[in-house]
């Protein structure tokens, strides 16, 4: 909480990182979800993945959302 984060080259002095799911120890299905919020800005980063491995083949979903730098901050 109140950690410094960067949006491009702009630093945000008060941010919060929330890890909602961190189940990466399972050898078949790996799940991870994280969000980062900045004071006065809101959601600045979101990552989610759910990967399933069967017979050495990976399939699933991995996406990342980031806020882009704004002149209003």
Q: How far apart are CA 3 and CA 35, in angstroms?
A: 14
Question: For residue 70, what are its two tokens?
Answer: 């704004």
CA 72 to centroid of chain Cα atoms: 23
Check residue 48 and give its pLDDT.
96
| H-type alpha helices, 1-73 | none
Q: What is the mean pLDDT of each run of 10 residues along the chain (73 residues)?
A: 68 85 88 92 92 89 84 56
pLDDT of res. 8: 67
Are 14 and 2 in contact by the 8 Å Cβ rule? The answer is: yes
pLDDT at 4: 72
Place of tokens 């704004």: 70
């Amino acid at each position: 909480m109140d950690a410094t984060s960067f949006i491009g080259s702009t630093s945000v002095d008060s941010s919060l990182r929330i890890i909602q799911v961190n189940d990466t120890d399972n050898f078949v299905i790996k799940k991870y979800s994280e969000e980062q919020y900045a004071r006065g800005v809101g959601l600045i980063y979101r990552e989610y993945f759910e990967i399933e491995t069967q017979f050495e083949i990976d399939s699933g979903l991995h996406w990342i959302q980031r806020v882009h730098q704004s002149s209003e901050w």
